[in-house]
Amino acid sequence: MEKNSEVIQKNNKGVIRWITLIAIAVPVVVAILLFMPSKIDVASDWVYFLPHLNAVINTAATVALIAGVVFIKKGNIEFHRAAMTTAFGLGGIFLVSYVIYHATAESTSFGGEGLIKYFYYFILITHIILAAVALFPILLAYFYGYTDQREKHRKVVKYAFPIWLYVTVTGVLVYLMISPYYNF
């Protein structure tokens, strides 16, 4: 039994190294793509549909996250896993779509004035910061859940879930607030 525990610990360390590397690399790559001097020319208008798709994906991820909590509180582990895997998969699809859009299209400026402008930028800045930070605890929680390390999963989820939920909800809010200013 003790030898089995050592193997699990060694495997965990290797996976956690990969999770850490991914959690650092993804925000760095996204930042590079967002701030590169010129956008990738795809000569196609289809990319302008992606912000709308991203809002739908974030909404669906929010629903999946909330469903996951409801299922686990009812003791339905299988439905909880399905809901969280759905949220995780939607997050991956969102990330690909987000990167494609921001690598190919110019950013849209918010045109609101007064208090709404400050509210928008508060939501946007907290959304960006927490989205960059969220990947590490989300990946860790998913790994612990997938490998049935329930105690570790519970400890990480205390942080991962509220951050992830905030990011998905504020992603939709940011979209709703900026969408009137899209030029396409």
Q: What is the pLDDT of residue 37?
A: 78
Q: What is the pLDDT of residue 5?
A: 59
Taking a C-beta distance cutoff of 8 angstroms, is the pair 169, 178 a contact?
no
Q: What is the pLDDT of residue 1?
A: 46
Which is nearest to 102 in space by CA: 58, 166, 54, 57? 54
CA dist 24 and 29 (Å) reads: 9
Which is nearest to 184 in space by CA: 92, 78, 51, 69? 51
CA dist 65 and 83 (Å) reads: 7
- Per-residue confidence in pLDDT tens, the chain, 184 aa: 445 555 566 678 889 999 999 999 999 988 888 787 777 887 678 888 999 999 999 999 999 999 999 999 999 999 999 999 999 999 999 999 998 888 888 888 899 999 999 999 999 999 999 999 999 999 999 999 999 999 999 999 999 999 999 999 999 999 999 998 887 6
Eight-class DSSP state of 58: H
CATH of domain 2-181: 1.20.120
Which is nearest to 50 in space by CA: 180, 175, 177? 175
